[in-house]
Amino acid sequence: MDPDLPGADIRIGYARCSTLGQELDSQPDALAGHGIPREKIFSEKTSTCVRVRPRFEEALRTAREVKVAGPPSSPTTCSDAARGESPLSRSSPT
């Protein structure tokens, strides 16, 4: 499907790890493996206690710009899925 057409499958990814000692490379690689273009993958190393997440905010702005409904996130590990509903889906109007 042409990504410029209304209703096209526009995928946006967000990857985050909590500590500087954790490796972030596998998450963007996994998201890219699910067909998300590298330029639409936003990643950062920041604690869950930090309220300001610039790359997450950029991902939200991008999602709002394309205005295409789709799955809000794809957890890359079981621990990610166990954390419950993603912030992106909570932030999105339904």
Q: DSSP letter at 35? A: T
Split at pLDDT 50, 70, 90, the class of 83 is: low
Q: DSSP letter at 26? A: H
Query: Is residue 94 included in any domain, yes or no?
Result: no
The mean of the pLDDT values for the chain is: 73
| Mean pLDDT within 29-52 | 89
Query: Is residue 31 included in any domain, yes or no?
Result: yes
pLDDT at 5: 52
Q: How many domains does the chain have?
A: 1
Query: Is residue 5 included in any domain, yes or no?
Result: no
Looking at the chain, the whole-number percentage of residues with pLDDT higher than 70 is 61
- Residues of the domain holding 19: 13-83
Query: Is residue 45 included in any domain, yes or no?
Result: yes
Q: Is 34 helix (H, G, I), strand (E, B) or coil?
A: coil
Query: Is residue 92 included in any domain, yes or no?
Result: no
Distance CA 25, CA 81 (A): 19
Query: Is residue 90 included in any domain, yes or no?
Result: no
> In the chain, what are the helix, strand and coil shares in percent, each to the nearest 5?
35, 10, 55
Query: Is residue 29 included in any domain, yes or no?
Result: yes
Query: Is residue 19 included in any domain, yes or no?
Result: yes
pLDDT at 29: 93
